[in-house]
Amino acid sequence: MLDDPPVVGITEAPAWAARAGRPLRAGGYVPIAYPYTADWPLNLIDEYPALLLVDAAEPGWEARVAAVTTEQATRRIPVLVIAPDMTLEAAARRVGAVGVLPLADLDRALLDRVRAHARRMDAATRAALTCQCREPLPPLARLGVQRFNASAYYAQHDAFEEQWMAEPGPVRDLYRAILQVGVAYYHLTRGNHAGALKMLQRSVQWFAQLPAVCQGVDVRQLREDAGRVRHVLGEMSPGEIASFDRSLLRPVRLVDEGEPGVEM
């Protein structure tokens, strides 16, 4: 999330991982290794890295980069390819990477390239979001929360969609995040395993740029609740969805006031 130290992902365990980790940590980034697992690239979304480093020495690296840059849940994660030289630049860009960093330049140039490409909010946008998050929840969004907390997951969509479309500022990510979690819960209650899982996976990208609390909404708690639902659902087969524990579908928590149907 916005208040957390930014993560830089490193695929597998390349020989240069330790070299990369030193400048990354010095620059305030947290390096995390991501193995190529059966659920690649969705195994990236729990931490939702600000940038991903891919080793071009790994067989199939192009297909794996393309999987990240085309999957709806991960396509906003920039990918930088670490390669022996610049001859792979065109191939890297063809599959959606931001470019190539030659291995020889790793110590000298990695931090600058990460700062240039990492998905981080600029100072002006961050200041605008901070200001907007201090404001009260607008009436339409409040209606959406009330509907969400009454398990009216279909109806909450309309309120949050109208609010999101009317809001040009960065706080619109808050409305989109809640909307998508609510749509996921709607699919879940209707027995649509694939639809619920897909929406939960896609919602993570909007949480990544939000602070822990915004307009009185406990964003961190909602993200954790939605993540718990996603993991439990992901371990189930579609045929088991009727046995899903619906007590895990917790309400949106407002931290600045109490009202019926809102958990404090």
Of the residues 88, 120, 152, which one is the last residue of a structural domain?
120
Runs of H (alpha helix) within the chain: 17-26, 61-70, 89-94, 106-117, 123-133, 139-149, 153-166, 172-189, 193-207, 219-234
Structure confidence at residue 228 (pLDDT): 97
Across-strand partners of 52? 9, 79
Structure confidence at residue 2 (pLDDT): 84
**Residue 101 is encoded by which pair of tokens?**
């960093």
The CATH number of whichever domain residue 21 belongs to comes to 3.40.50.2300
| Grouped pLDDT means (10 residues each) for the chain, 264 residues | 92 96 96 96 95 96 98 97 97 98 97 96 94 97 98 97 96 98 98 97 95 97 97 96 96 72 35
For residue 185, how many other CB atoms are within 10 A of its CB? 24
The parent domain of residue 225 ranges over 126-248
pTM of the model: 0.90
Between CA 220 and CA 222 the distance in angstroms is 5
Structure confidence at residue 260 (pLDDT): 35
Structure confidence at residue 259 (pLDDT): 40
Query: Domain count of the chain?
Result: 2
The CATH number of whichever domain residue 207 belongs to comes to 1.10.3450.10
